[in-house]
Each structure stands twice: as structure tokens, then as C-alpha cells.
Chains A and B, each alone.
Chain A
Amino acid sequence: MELREIAELLKARVLSSEQMLETEVHNAFCCDMMSDVLAFATNQSVLITGLLNPQVVRTAMMLDMHCIVFIQGKEPTPEIVSLAEANDIVVMVSDESMFRAAGLLYDTGVLNTDEE
């Protein structure tokens, strides 16, 4: 599934790295605790979170993730957006809840395994 399709599915606004929207991704991870993301995310390419600070972007960078979806319409600060932009990470904002965002992606049958 392309990141562009994820944005459409979650009715999300894309705030950074639009040139990367054709990136193909296969899996996602939902979490607000970055320590848990670092501990348990394996090959996930999309991070769905309600946490808003620059460490979300750095955590995504450490794990080579391609996209961060901020849920509940939470608006990231310009600092977060520019850090993501500088590192080719797509940031999007969706009004969906974390549960619904995860469910919608899971339902596509694509984003549901640890395998690339």
C-alpha cells in the first residue's frame, strides 16, 4: 500500500515529505510510548501515535520508519514537521482515533504483519 493511499483512507492531511507519498509500506505500529516503539517495533514502516514531540520523529528515524500519523487531529509543531521533512519522513494528521485509524488500516489486509 502506498502512503498516498493511507492518507486517503484516514482522510489525513499531509504536512511533510510529499515527494515520498509513493513509498510502498506493509505494516504499522501504534503507540504513545516511544520506549515501547523502540522495544517492540520490528519492521514497521508507519507509526500511528497521539504523542506530540520531536522525539517521535527521532524514534521513527532510529527504526527507519517512513511515515508518522498523528491521530485525533493533533497538530504537530513546526519543529516536528521540519525535522521530519529534513529526513524524508511523511507526517500526516488524521481526525480518526488511534483505534479507528489502526482498524481502517488493518482492514485493508495489508498492514497486519511484521513481515516486509
Chain B
Amino acid sequence: MEALHFHFDIDGEDFSSAGEASVAVKKKLRQLGFPSDVIRRCSIAMYEGEINMVIHANGGSADVEVYPDKVVMVLEDHGPGIPNVELAMQEGYSTSTEQIRNMGFGAGMGLPNMKRYTESLEIETKVGVGTKLTMVVRV
């Protein structure tokens, strides 16, 4: 079966609309009849990624491919990149500003949460160029 493909442009200017793509993916997966735990893991992982793109990278794009046995989410931005991925993967490590923390994010849980809820998280990043995250959730 051919994969279903969804593309989203993530607006980096508007924090209050962040998460709209994740909500759309969640609705699609529900319509397609995926189990609720799969839907929840996909939506949380993608939501964290979307929030990260808005707060760190001035937006980007998300491409979601849905197969019968897995969901692949690719999030790509042209932001500052992650200088030390190992450090960024540690729970509690964050480069966020006080302003971001006041909005309820930037607790250093974004990437760890993405790893927690997916079967694989691949990070390709280059300082000054951008970051590409590929996440796979298996059904």
C-alpha cells in the first residue's frame, strides 16, 4: 500500500498557533482508525517538534508519511542548529529564554519527549544551517 503524505508549513512568527499541524495529524490518524496509543505518541512527538521549531528556528516544515504499520514524521528547519546533540538530549537541558519558559515550554523536555514517544529519532543538524528530525512511530 502506498503511503499517505501530508505536508505542513510551520509558521515561526506565531506562538499561539503552534501545534496546529500536530492537531491536523492527530485528526487524520483518528479518521484512518489507528489505535489511540499510536495516535497519542505521534501527536505528542510531533507537537514537541513543532513547538521547538517555533521557539528555536523561526518555523520550518513538517512532512508526515502514514503507512499501515508505521508513521514517519520529518521536521525540517533552517534555524541555528544544535551545537551539542548529546547535551540537548538530556532531560532538563534547555537553551530557551525566560520568555519561552513563561509560556510553559523550554523545560528541556522537548527532544527527550520525542525520543520517549517514538521508536526512533534521528537528528541531522548543522550549526548555522538547520536541523532535520526524522521520527518513526510503529503501529
Contact = CB atoms under 8 A, between A and B. Distances in A.
Interface string B74-108: 00000000000000000000000000010111111
A39 B113 contact: yes
Contacts of B44: 38, 62-63
Given A33-B104, A51-B104, A64-B36, A38 B16 contact: no
A62 B107 contact: no
A61 interface: yes
Interface stretch (B17-25, B63-71, B122-130): B17-25
Interface of B: 15-19, 22-23, 26, 36, 40, 43-44, 47-48, 51, 101, 103-110, 112-113, 116
23 contacts: A33-B107, A35-B48, A35-B105, A35-B108, A35-B109, A35-B110, A35-B113, A36-B107, A38-B109, A39-B109, A39-B112, A51-B103, A53-B104, A55-B104, A58-B23, A58-B47, A61-B23, A61-B26, A62-B19, A62-B26, A63-B44, A64-B36, A79-B16
Contacts of A54: 16-17, 19
Interface size range on A against B:
10 to 19
Given A54-B16, A55-B51, A62-B44, A35 B26 contact: no
A104 B101 CA distance: 28
B113 A55 contact: no
A26 B23 CA distance: 25
A31 B139 CA distance: 30
